[in-house]
Structure 1
Amino acid sequence: MTVPDLAWLSDLSVFNVNRLPAHSDHVYYATMEEARQGGNMNWRHSLNGSWKFHYASNAESRPASFWKQEANCSGWDTIQVPGHIQLQGYGAPQYVNTMYPWDGISPVRPPHIQEDHNPVGSYVKTFSVPEQMTDQPLYISFQGVESAFFIWLNGQFVGYSEDSFTPADFDLTPFVTEGENKLAVEVYQRSTGSWLEDQDFWRFSGIFRDVYLYTAPEGHAKDVHIRTELNDAFSEAVLHVEAQTERDVYCLLEDAEGRVVAEGPSPLTVSDPELWSAESPYLYRLFLQVKNEEGGIIEVIPERVGFRRFEMKNKIMHLNGKRIVFKGVNRHEFNARTGRVITKEDMIWDIQTMKQNNINAVRTSHYPNQTEWYRLCDEYGLYVIDEMNLETHGSWQKMGKVDTEWTIPGSKPEWNDIVLDRAKSMYERDKNHPSILIWSCGNESHAGDVILNASKYFKEQDSSRLVHYEGVFYDRDFDETSDMESRMYAKPADIEDYLSADPEKPYISCEYIHAMGNSLGGMYKYTDLEETYPMYQGGFIWDFIDQSLLKKNRFGEEFLAYGGDFDDRPTDYNFCGNGIVTADRKLSPKMQEVKFLYQNIKLFPDQTGVRIKNEQLFKGTDSYELVCTISEEGVVLEEKSLTIQVDPLSEQYVPVKWATEDEQKEYVIEASLRLKEKTIWAEAGHEVAFGQLISQTAPKKATPAGNVTVVEGDVTIGVHGDHFSVLFSKASGTLVSLQYAGEEMIAAPPYPLFWRAMTDNDKGNQFAFASSGWYTSSFVRTCTNVQLEAAEDHAVIRFEYRLPISEQAKASVSYAVYGDGSVHVTNNYQGAEGLSDMPIYALSFKVPAEYDQLDWYAMGPDENYADREKGARLGRFQNKSADNVSPYLVPQESGARTGVRYVKIANDCQKGIAVHYVNEPLTCTISPYTAFELENAAHHYELPPVHYTVVTVAGRQMGVGGDDSWGAPVHAEHRIQGETNMTFEFILKPL
């Protein structure tokens, strides 16, 4: 009899005891009728729900004998399974990225663990075996336990397992009794496996996926392996089925309409098969009938089958004979309330959101997901890189530098079996899913023989998929580990250098365009490579969803918390906020850019029609409606709906004739491709692609009517007209009052602004250190001259400023007030040599807070920047100033709109002012907060009560960047050089 031993927790040779062999994730039923209906299995019984629970901070303080039959645990607390211990009132979650969570606290080195702080969760569940499961073998399955656990039943030791993210099954048959049974599970947060689970995520522990009992009939197929083959013409498919049973297996294959297309023992042949792809995820339904000697059905196994061929051909990855491009994201399993405990509804929301935004691929970073995820990817159509549970980042990369003094697993033979076990567990469970195209050997674990052996295992087992591993970038002696060149956060120029050198492998960016905070600038530089270089086959954005947890502040208000908010140390703070959706599952403004750049069909309208480029590999455009409009200032003048048929991988020009023609006006011609009918991932009318043409013309410059009266006092200059009054202060050096119909619009006067609230990327690339002089220049400046020019119909007041950043740098603002109450503002900046880049060149002022209703004619509808405006469109949009504080984990620059023709700022009575462009469209940000208020808050709840609406009108703002968030600058063409002379103009008008 095996005696459990705590020494196993740090013993490399012990990672499972009595665990059953890994197997496919198939379900099975007693009859064909049950198999067709699906749903819950009569041979499975869930143990999810309330369990008795005890928490201890280490093994020494745990109730060591709780598993004994006589131990009374009735007075213990209860805990929910599945669930993380740390999110149910015990201990605290900890967020770290690359370093191990005990860094600086304990000097341990692998495979040893920190014994004085290794939280232990002791779980007890009592159950009676359901009647329909009695008199048969009884098994238990733990779908996910972090990170190691022991299990007892009725006081007898059952087994032990590590690997948090793949199932652990055990045979309970020798230990189960009639009536009530006592199940005891002891979960340790840290084990040898923890050294292999250094992913960039929150550190939790506990039973966080489903637990269930199951049984099986005699002759049960313990494992099923489905393999498909296609001939070179894709006109014939062969279906191979291997079932681990000694009984006969009869196969019945039906198409999606329920018609039988093949039947009999394996293999089956199908003529003219429908092929599976993300565009058309066609699934056949296979029923495996396991039969007894008399030919009666013992069990029926229903499976979905997708016929597809994925292969490397001429150094390029092909799906069903066509070059594939991955328009992907990395995705953690995450929920703001429950951490990595997610529901099927969460998964469906994620997949529908991906499909609606043209994302076709997902990498399961950096562990196998719940098995339901793969079924949904099969059904909805997503290409999957399935990644094994391996990351040892903190063992070889410190503070960004590679240090291999104690890298694991490397080529250390003692680590081979525990790593290979993780590869096997993932492969055996997931091998039958058509959505999985690539196996991944884990993430950021350097290179060596151990990971190479995992790659060889995948290749030996499965010729229908390729193998990915990025870490060979650091050691080319192990290049054969990966079938493709895969790099993280390489700059576009570096990728071009690789692709231009006649490489041996195609390229994918397994992580790119780091989406931390206000980011994703320059993404187009990556997607542009898809058309230029056939061997560039796309990438996976880091990442899909923010990993932030809902927490309450000291006033009882919920907020989205990040590392450090739970007093967790060490921590990497808000580095967990890299999503293109928020942790509470709302779209980030960044998604606007993703959706456009990932379009599979591109539309190029002009004055006479639309060029349609269908880059889909397999589908024509017959399921879409083409809607073309021509608009003026956001008002649609004409609309035409067209039915089109453009074959996959082809182009077509569709003529469109417009009645509207006036060369003196600016029109927007837009083409929109929309779903004709509802799908499982979107409603009818959902837009999958759009394109715009803006026929720009110079705005008319009519002289405003009316006269003005100028009153020059000793300190104040007043300009007055019918129903308006404007005051300028010589002492303050600026406009100080703007009244329309007696309503004061200026709550705080305008001054030149050269600073924006630093984004996460700005902080990461040390922008503030290099350019902090612009921060000072935005707070203080010296007015060196005030000039007044008065005429009958207007007056011009000009203020000149010296800036503290340089003796030579100067700025001026001129206000020309006309008889209609409009104020024409001209901003001029005179640069100087040697000055650092500036983040923004703007004029900023405050109006009373009640003026918070905005009506834009600009690029939108979501925020956009110089390097993130491809997905924006010129149109008329409405929102409120508060809407422009985007929900990035740390407040920062957000809410800007480029291409502003005008924006109206009104109160509830629709009174207020408007900002209009003069020569060049503007960039405007209108927010309840100044740049400095945003920058000084670590959380949104720290922002002050709203007293103003802050209007920032910019001639230019630099891009937000996004190649990475720890050093990459904004690309040169989207920066603002401090030595450049610049001028911009705008007009303030009453509504």
Structure 2
Amino acid sequence: MRRKFVKNLHDPKVFKINRLSAHSDHKYKGKNIEWKKDLNGIWEFSYCDSPNWSKIEVPGHIELQGYGKPQYVNTMYPWDGLETLEPGEVPKQFNPFGTYKKEFKVPKDWKKNPVYISFQGVESCIELYCNGEFVGYSEDSFTPSEFELTKYLKSDKNEILVKVYKWCSGSWLEDQDFWRFSGIFRDVYLYSTPEVHVKDMFLTSDLSSNFKKATLKNILKLQSLMSKKIDVLMEVWDNKELICNIVEKNIEIEDNLKIELIKKIDSPKLWSAEKPNLYLIKVILSDSNSGEVIEETEQKFGFRKFEIEDKIMKINGKRIVFKGVNRHEFNCDRGRAVTEEDMLWDIKFLKANNFNAVRTSHYPNQTRWYELCDEYGLYVIDEVNLETHGTWQILGQPCPEKVIPNNNPEWLENIIDRAKSMFEKDKNHPSIIIWSCGNESFGGENLYKMSEFLKSLDSTRVIHYEGVFWDRRYDKTSDMESRMYAKVYEIEKYLNETPEKPFVLCEYSHAMGNSNGGLHKYTELEEKYPMYQGGFIWDYIDQALRKKDPFGNDYLAFGGDFGDRPTDYNFCVNGLVYADRKVSPKVQEVKQLFSDYKIQVKDRYFVIDNQSLFTNVSEYDVKVKVLKNGVEKYSEILECDVKPLSKKEFKLAIPKMDESGEYTVEVSLNLKEDRFYANKGHEICFGQNIYVIKQEKSQELEEKPILINGGFNIGIKGKNFHLVFSKAYGGLISLKYSDKEFIEGVVLPNFWRAGTDNDRGNKMPFRYAQWKIASLYPKMVNVEVVEGKNYVEIISKYELPTNPVTDCIVSYRAFSDGKIDVGMEYIGVEGLSEMPLMGMSYKIPQEFSEIKWYGMGPEENYIDRVHGARLGIFETDVYKNLSQYVIPQECGNRIGIRWVEVKNKAGFGMKISGEIPFEFSGLPYTVSEIETAYHHYELPKSHCTALNINKVQMGIGGDDSWGAETHKEYLIPSNKNIIFRYTIQSNM
């Protein structure tokens, strides 16, 4: 049998043997019998041809339990460069397999009933034996493989044996951007059924044009072991209230009988992501003669209408805008063997941060995920387990000569079966509003036939497929124009050319490392173009695996860290949340931009623009706060009535503020009561207005600090401070307040940052490398000392080693009270690239690790990622400020800084302020230390605080991570003079 099985591995036409037909995932009960027996847990396991048996956990991946190693590749197939294979062939030199073994007893209550086994997910294929006899074979890693065991069973103990190969012909259809695992990674269970059983049900609803009336249709397929008459009762429940029912009596039952139940319902509560109203549909089968209940089936269901009308996608008659994310099933310890706890965390996070949609990239998910989306409200694009990226795109260029499935007839039945398996399992979930034919598999007739097949089964949803962008032969495969990583100008070009289909971005704003800059440019299209209907950020969670570093500590590993080759290294790490489900700073921006509510605060009023479809603002508290110089002075909670899809103006009845200072009026929307995803008071969104009441200038100091002009150094002393400037090394080398030293190295101009993933992807270091050299090796060509009436000023001029050479002037004007006005002027020159940043870097003693600032926060922000930040006073420490992007990179920046304090545990430190807001970051490592580390464990033991005080830093970009540059308006031109001024003083 093994020989036959190995032959099947190579044949794309053989993808199932004796596998049961796919069916709906409804629940059933009856006769006080437990019809399901869980087989999860510890199984016996043998790896490859080993004669020894050990233990393995199910569900779980073979490679994460001590056998083989995980491998990460993106587009290329995992055997690329190791063996030359044609589509359908599997590696001959290395194709490991695992053999699982489990003993079980059939429950006594099942003795007269059929017994089945369900494998909810096995990668990449399964060969099943029961008591030594071959039962069946199945491919498709992400939909259930079910088999009947009845005729193979013994009366007492039974043994099942499962052989799982790492690769089969179906692996050519599973070239998703993820870790390549194998094994039984989803639930396994036995189940039986009563003598009459609802094998399948398909619930649909049709809504009247005014959405006041619904027609519920339930198509049942019955399985029967005997001939008898039954009654079929369908009940519709709204919580604990029975709304209506319908009964069919004295039905002569036979196997595979189809029954259609139809019921009209008045004034149904509609389902949407905002209002996920669910009804419980019960189907009760009973004996017509005795009245005995044979089986009771339950399925939660939502009435909703999703359609494309006038070229616009609508939910219940309203234009929908997707504020979505692509979500891989992932856990940093368990891989794709995610738990219900993971899923609950995910859906709470998504709802709390204003997401309304998720794409199951790129395979059907566990049933429990769809149940949660139904219950808590997320729109779902459910995607067929199909991706053949490596057969048609090489190094980013289309080369479709060997693409599959294309028009190749030997792959057609295989991919149609995958679509059918997805559809049948998931069809009753109202959250699923779009079926997707897969991902990045080019185009062709087979995909068109899949699309037509899904349409023939289901008229209540529409079809998505992005690949037609690359191959227009069968453009009608997709009902919408879907693209990946299209630039804003490309989207506008499409929308301005009388398009035939609504537009969505199935992937955009690539969240790799420090990214998602410029996201607002996409969300701004939502109001400008009705046919632009949002998109799905790539992606939700970093696919990094927990591993021990060389020092025995846990870290999050990426491709290549397991010795896996070939690999695509850290390209698996693109999440808005880290792999351990800690939230990255990028979410701050997404949450604000994805809110359905936009708040504009003006001088004496504010405007709430309610862009939700079905929710009145009155369901939230509206909180008004007034802050003076970042400190709260007044607050109140209002109730505001703003109907969906409308805006309203409200007067601000706040006390008059006359004292000089900077005032912030903040208006926010907050939860009125606890919800499943967040507690009362959780903020949905906010708006701010900032104004200044100027103060009179303070009197000038009369006393002048002491100048000590030595041969090698220049010293300046004043009340409680001492400053030393080196003529030899060309910069500030000592700054003391209260005899505490704040400088550990020469302070020089800085124009460089540690490259982000986006920077490396678009070759910014290559284009801007001169600015790194300019930061490391400036040459001081002149130093001048100026004594003013009440100050001493040191002015130094530097030549920067750029081509052409340019100049930078730095000045320190010290006053007797310890204030130091710092000036930096860059002299613009033609012929140089833009610069990454412009500022100065201070290496200060490690004890000064606490940072507090008045500026934008709380999370890191940049000039192209600041919409989610607010003006306020915040504090953290340099260690927490080091964002945990898997490859260390630029992070921790804040813009709009009025002042920042760097202090020790006792609160003593240095304060830097500016009349014109500036930028800063405080980190436990220098730029050079960060950019030379490939993992966090490669960073040295922290020995200082690196304080970076910048006039401006270029944006971080994020349209994609492999070539898209930061938008032009967020770059720093080098052909113009730039002046930067700030003040240093003691914070006490």
On whether the aligned pair clears a TM of 0.5, the verdict is yes
| Counterpart position of 2:206 | 229
Matched, 1:206 2:183: yes
Cα deviation, 1:484-516, whole Å, max 9, x if unaligned, reads 000000001100000111100000000001010
For 1:390-469, list aligned pairs within 5 A.
390-469=386-465
TM-aligned CA deviation for residue 453 of structure 1: 0.8
Structure 1 residue identity aligned to 2:43: W
- Quote the Cα distance in structure 1 between the aligned partners of 2:687 and 2:553: 42
- Quote the Cα distance in structure 1 between the aligned partners of 2:897 and 2:503: 38
Cα deviation, 1:332-389, whole Å, max 9, x if unaligned, reads 0000000001111100100000000000000000000001100000000000000010
TM-aligned CA deviation for residue 749 of structure 1: 2.5
Aligned counterpart in structure 2 of residue 272 of structure 1, from 267, 273, 286: 267
TM-aligned CA deviation for residue 977 of structure 1: 1.5
Cα deviation, 1:834-872, whole Å, max 9, x if unaligned, reads 101111111001110010111111101000001000110
2:507–2:537 contact (8 Å) kept in structure 1:
yes
Flag structure 2 segments of 5+ consecutive residues without an equivalent: 225-229, 249-260
- Quote the Cα distance in structure 2 between the aligned partners of 1:953 and 1:211: 57
1:669–1:692 contact (8 Å) kept in structure 2:
yes
TM-aligned CA deviation for residue 101 of structure 1: 0.4
- Quote the Cα distance in structure 2 between the aligned partners of 1:259 and 1:723: 80
TM-aligned CA deviation for residue 707 of structure 1: 2.9
| Counterpart position of 1:72 | none
TM-aligned CA deviation for residue 661 of structure 1: 2.6
Structure 2 residue identity aligned to 1:189: K
- Quote the Cα distance in structure 2 between the aligned partners of 1:6 and 1:808: 67
Matched, 1:117 2:94: yes
Matched, 1:851 2:828: no
TM-aligned CA deviation for residue 610 of structure 1: 1.5
Q: What SS is found at the alignment partner of 2:28?
A: coil
Structure 2 residue identity aligned to 1:794: Y
1:709–1:792 contact (8 Å) kept in structure 2:
no
| Counterpart position of 1:777 | 774
| Counterpart position of 2:38 | 46
- Quote the Cα distance in structure 2 between the aligned partners of 1:121 and 1:771: 50
TM-aligned CA deviation for residue 86 of structure 1: 0.2
Q: Aligned-residue CA RMSD in angstroms?
A: 1.4
TM-aligned CA deviation for residue 702 of structure 1: 3.3
1:142–1:212 contact (8 Å) kept in structure 2:
yes
- Quote the Cα distance in structure 2 between the aligned partners of 1:662 and 1:565: 61
Structure 1 residue identity aligned to 2:546: L
- Quote the Cα distance in structure 2 between the aligned partners of 1:239 and 1:700: 73
Q: What SS is found at the alignment partner of 2:617?
A: coil
1:287–1:300 contact (8 Å) kept in structure 2:
yes
Structure 2 residue identity aligned to 1:22: A
Q: What SS is found at the alignment partner of 2:42?
A: strand
For 1:34-433, list aligned pairs within 5 A.
42-56=34-48, 61=49, 76-245=53-222, 247-265=230-248, 266-294=261-289, 295-433=291-429
2:5–2:127 contact (8 Å) kept in structure 1:
no
1:708–1:792 contact (8 Å) kept in structure 2:
no
- Quote the Cα distance in structure 2 between the aligned partners of 1:599 and 1:981: 39
TM-aligned CA deviation for residue 468 of structure 1: 0.1
Q: What SS is found at the alignment partner of 2:504?
A: strand
| Counterpart position of 1:478 | 474
Matched, 1:715 2:712: yes
TM-aligned CA deviation for residue 808 of structure 1: 3.8
TM-aligned CA deviation for residue 390 of structure 1: 0.2
- Quote the Cα distance in structure 2 between the aligned partners of 1:217 and 1:2: 35
- Quote the Cα distance in structure 2 between the aligned partners of 1:896 and 1:6: 56
Structure 2 residue identity aligned to 1:292: D
- Quote the Cα distance in structure 1 between the aligned partners of 2:629 and 2:123: 56
| Counterpart position of 2:549 | 553
Structure 1 residue identity aligned to 2:771: W
TM-aligned CA deviation for residue 694 of structure 1: 1.5
Structure 2 residue identity aligned to 1:105: L
| Counterpart position of 1:749 | 746
Q: What SS is found at the alignment partner of 1:405?
A: helix
- Quote the Cα distance in structure 2 between the aligned partners of 1:103 and 1:978: 44
Matched, 1:8 2:8: yes
The answer to which of 289-298 and 709-718 deviates more is 289-298
Cα deviation, 1:684-728, whole Å, max 9, x if unaligned, reads 111111111122567865355343111111111111112111111
Question: Residues 697 and 579 (structure 1 numbering): CA distance in 2 closer, same or farther, change over 3 Å?
Answer: farther
- Quote the Cα distance in structure 1 between the aligned partners of 2:528 and 2:700: 51
Q: What SS is found at the alignment partner of 1:921?
A: strand
- Quote the Cα distance in structure 1 between the aligned partners of 2:105 and 2:471: 54
| Counterpart position of 1:910 | 907
Q: What SS is found at the alignment partner of 2:29?
A: coil
- Quote the Cα distance in structure 2 between the aligned partners of 1:697 and 1:957: 29
Q: What SS is found at the alignment partner of 2:26?
A: coil
TM-aligned CA deviation for residue 664 of structure 1: 4.4
TM-aligned CA deviation for residue 529 of structure 1: 0.2
Flag structure 1 segments of 5+ consecutive residues without an equivalent: 35-40, 64-74
Structure 1 residue identity aligned to 2:452: K
TM-aligned CA deviation for residue 263 of structure 1: 4.1
TM-score (norm 2): 0.97
Matched, 1:974 2:966: no
TM-aligned CA deviation for residue 257 of structure 1: 4.2
Q: What SS is found at the alignment partner of 1:923?
A: strand
Cα deviation, 1:822-841, whole Å, max 9, x if unaligned, reads 11101100121110111111
Aligned counterpart in structure 2 of residue 692 of structure 1, from 688, 692, 695: 688
- Quote the Cα distance in structure 1 between the aligned partners of 2:151 and 2:188: 19
2:660–2:692 contact (8 Å) kept in structure 1:
no
2:231–2:247 contact (8 Å) kept in structure 1:
no
1:122–1:185 contact (8 Å) kept in structure 2:
yes
Aligned counterpart in structure 2 of residue 634 of structure 1, from 618, 630, 643: 630
TM-aligned CA deviation for residue 3 of structure 1: 8.8
TM-aligned CA deviation for residue 609 of structure 1: 2.0
- Quote the Cα distance in structure 1 between the aligned partners of 2:856 and 2:245: 55
Q: What SS is found at the alignment partner of 1:439?
A: strand
| Counterpart position of 2:936 | 940
- Quote the Cα distance in structure 2 between the aligned partners of 1:570 and 1:760: 20
Structure 2 residue identity aligned to 1:249: V
| Counterpart position of 2:727 | 730
TM-aligned CA deviation for residue 133 of structure 1: 2.5
Aligned counterpart in structure 2 of residue 929 of structure 1, from 921, 925, 928: 925
- Quote the Cα distance in structure 2 between the aligned partners of 1:231 and 1:986: 66
Structure 2 residue identity aligned to 1:82: P
Question: Residues 933 and 96 (structure 1 numbering): CA distance in 2 closer, same or farther, change over 3 Å?
Answer: same
Q: What SS is found at the alignment partner of 2:196?
A: coil
TM-aligned CA deviation for residue 79 of structure 1: 0.2
1:704–1:818 contact (8 Å) kept in structure 2:
no
Cα deviation, 1:417-457, whole Å, max 9, x if unaligned, reads 01111000000000000000000000000000111111001
1:262–1:270 contact (8 Å) kept in structure 2:
no
TM-aligned CA deviation for residue 293 of structure 1: 3.0
- Quote the Cα distance in structure 2 between the aligned partners of 1:747 and 1:123: 61
1:624–1:674 contact (8 Å) kept in structure 2:
yes
Q: What SS is found at the alignment partner of 1:702?
A: coil
TM-aligned CA deviation for residue 260 of structure 1: 3.0
2:758–2:958 contact (8 Å) kept in structure 1:
yes
| Counterpart position of 1:887 | 884
Cα deviation, 1:39-89, whole Å, max 9, x if unaligned, reads xx8100011011110112xxxx466xxxxxxxxxxx510000000000000
